[in-house]
């Protein structure tokens, strides 16, 4: 579909430069940028609700910042 839009001169110059660098057309650069921008706006995340449990807390010696030791504990080592 053909349409006419007004684009800032500096932005258009940058888009043309990108097209040359990527070896594609100005149309492709503009379409890709528009698709990327619109797809980021369409993504909505549901808030995550974490369930908690009561208890004595962490097992002695467990370090939540050490993924290797956590894997060992979960594997029963």
- Lowest mean pLDDT segment, chosen from 1-5, 46-50, 55-59, 68-72: 55-59
Average pLDDT taken over every residue of the chain: 86
> Tell me: the pLDDT tens digits for 28-63?
999 999 999 888 776 677 788 878 777 777 777 788
Average pLDDT over residues 2-19: 93
Element (H, E) at 11: helix 9-22
The predicted pLDDT at position 70 comes to 84
Element (H, E) at 68: helix 67-74
Q: SS3 of 33, please? A: helix
**The whole model's pTM is what?**
0.52
């Amino acid at each position: 579909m053909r349409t006419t839009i007004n684009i800032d001169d500096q932005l258009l110059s940058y888009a043309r430069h990108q097209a040359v660098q990527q070896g594609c057309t100005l149309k492709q650069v503009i379409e890709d940028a528009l698709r990327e921008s619109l797809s980021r706006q369409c993504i909505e995340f549901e808030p995550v609700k974490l369930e908690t449990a009561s208890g004595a807390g962490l097992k002695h010696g467990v370090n939540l910042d050490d993924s290797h030791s956590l894997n060992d504990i979960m594997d029963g080592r």
